[in-house]
Amino acid sequence: MEYISPEGLRLDGRRPKELRQLSCQFGILAKADGSATFEMGNTKVLAAVFGPHEVEQRSKAQPGRAIVQCEYAMAAFSTGERRKRGKTDRRSTELSTIIRNCLEQTILLELMPSSQIDVYVQVLQADGGTRCACINAAMLAIAEAGIPVRDLMAACAAGYLDSTSILDMNYMEDSGGGPDVAVAIHPNLNKTVLLQMDNKIAVDVFEGVYGLAEQGCKAVAQYMRQQLLAHVQRLAVMRGPTRL
């Protein structure tokens, strides 16, 4: 199968270094302390944050910091196959741990001792890159909940098909058998929070693919920052002038 046309276009018409269309919404769940959806093309995920609140299982409490619980799940209808997917299968358990790990590096846990933050991420529609979309949605929901962070966290993946590094693969591309390098960063701290890859990849190819994923993360971070700012401005207008 040809993934890049002679004109240099991908199956969905994108250029190799082009992200899919990004979209997000805030505060869509009334009962959560923070919630957000994040879309990368046809991949759509929802994140809900509860807390910080008192630790439910006392034995898990950390006197000097908050703990984070995270649950990743794919909706049965998310891939179109309507296959029931548990939240306890191996992949979901791995992703719950990965996302929790990213959030633990991002949230200022030491400011909330002996407390707990619960994060739920649900894939509503899967078209590749769900782990990165979930990390981005979780970050936005954490920000919406007003939880303090070290830096904004943004995630994006890149791959390699037809001897070309390509950004933000959709499911068709992801199924092409090439490497998939998922990266999450703290853009202002210049720190890599997550680096994962499946499939073997030559060192020189890896450098190009990793660099592209990092560029994608920076573009996603810029989009998230703009959207958060616009959301806060909307809230300020809705609440009206503050009386001192």
Q: Interface with ligand ADP by CB under 6 A: which residues?
A: 79-81, 126-131, 171, 174, 180
> What DSSP line would sit under the chain, residue for residue?
--SB-TTS-BTTS--TTPPPPEEEEE---TTSSEEEEEEETTEEEEEEEEEEEE-SSGGG-BTTB-EEEEEEEE-TTTTSS-----SSSHHHHHHHHHHHHHHHHHB-GGGSTTEEEEEEEEEEE-SS-HHHHHHHHHHHHHHHTT--BSS--EEEEEEEETTEEEES--HHHHTTSS-EEEEEEETTTTEEEEEEEES---HHHHHHHHHHHHHHHHHHHHHHHHHHHHHHHHHHHHH-PPP-
Which residue's beta carbon is nearest to the bound ligand ADP? 130
Question: 39 vs 174, which CB is nearer to ligand ADP?
Answer: 174
Distance CA 61, CA 148 (A): 19
Q: How far is the CB of 71 from ligand ADP (least distance, A)?
A: 16
**In terms of CB distance, is 54 or 81 closer to ligand ADP?**
81
- Measured CA to CA, the distance from residue 96 to residue 103 in angstroms comes to 11
* Closer residue to ligand ADP (CB): 41 or 51: 41
Q: How far is the CB of 128 from ligand ADP (least distance, A)?
A: 4
Q: How far is the CB of 138 from ligand ADP (least distance, A)?
A: 14
CB closer to ligand ADP out of 53 and 91: 91
Residue with structure tokens 């649900």?
122
User: CB of 46: closest distance to ligand ADP in angstroms?
Assistant: 15
Least distance CB 45 / ligand ADP (angstroms): 9
Min dist CB 81 to ligand ADP, Å, is: 6
When the beta carbons of 34 and 41 are compared against ligand ADP, the nearer one is 41
Q: What's the min distance (Å) between Cβ of 132 and ligand ADP?
A: 6
The answer to whether the CB of 203 falls within 8 A of the CB of 2 is no
The smaller minimum CB distance to ligand ADP, of residues 112 and 182, is found at: 182
Between vectors from CA 25 to CA 67 and to CA 220, what angle results, nearest 5°? 75
Cβ closer to ligand ADP: 36 or 145?
Answer: 36
